Amino acid sequence: MRHKLALALILPILMACGANSVAGQDTLSGASCVGPYLDDQPRVGGRFGASSPTVHPGDSITVYGHWYAKSCNDSGGHDPIQPLPSVRLTLTLPDGRVQHLDRYTPTGPDFGFAATVRIPPKTAAGTAVVRDDRDPVRATFTFTIGSA
């Protein structure tokens, strides 16, 4: 009897884990197993998990998007891998100001893109964050702005 009760309690939870669509929205559940993610490392010669740099006011940083793909074959699937639609990036500066950057379209072998982000002169020192509009919680890149 206890096994049936446990199954009755756990089964709805497990079913909810598989149901992740939001009314009319394309969710990221089909995205690549390792992405999408943002960092400052290029596809060739970059290092996953590298420390974030310090950038100074008036300088630029290149932010790379990686694995903006609709499917994941990391566990043996054979679905054709297709890029996700373009994403818009935003930069949040240490004082809370938000700059809306361009739209970027994933392409190439890692379904990525490169975005050059210029730090405005006279920006206060602190933490800056680049986010994408598809998944602003997971697909973020945080770096430090040093003093001028």
E strand segments, the chain = 37-39, 54-55, 60-66, 87-92, 98-104, 113-118, 126-132, 140-145
Residue 123 lies in a domain: yes
Average pLDDT, the chain: 81
Residue 49 lies in a domain: yes
> Which range marks the domain in which residue 57 is found?
30-72+80-145
Q: Is it the case that residue 13 has pLDDT exceeding 70? A: no
pLDDT in tens, 56-92: 999 999 999 999 988 776 666 677 888 999 999 999 9
Residue 24 lies in a domain: no
pTM above 0.75, yes or no: no
Mean pLDDT for the stretch of residues 45-65: 93
Q: Is it the case that residue 133 has pLDDT exceeding 70? A: yes
Residue 29: what pLDDT?
A: 45
Residue 14 lies in a domain: no
In angstroms, the CA 18 to CA 58 distance is: 46
Residue 13 lies in a domain: no
Higher pLDDT: 33 or 144? It is 144
Residue type, 41: Q
Residue 102 lies in a domain: yes
How many structural domains compose the chain? 1
Classify residue 139 by its DSSP letter. S
In angstroms, the CA 123 to CA 91 distance is: 12
Residue 25 lies in a domain: no
Mean pLDDT for the stretch of residues 45-61: 93
CATH number (domain holding residue 58): 2.60.40.1930
Higher pLDDT: 103 or 29? It is 103
What's the pLDDT band for 117 if we cut at 50, 70, 90? very high
Residue 65 lies in a domain: yes
Higher pLDDT: 14 or 43? It is 43
pLDDT in tens, 120-131: 999 999 999 999
Residues 143, 40: contact at Cβ < 8 Å?
Answer: yes
Q: Is it the case that residue 5 has pLDDT exceeding 50? A: no
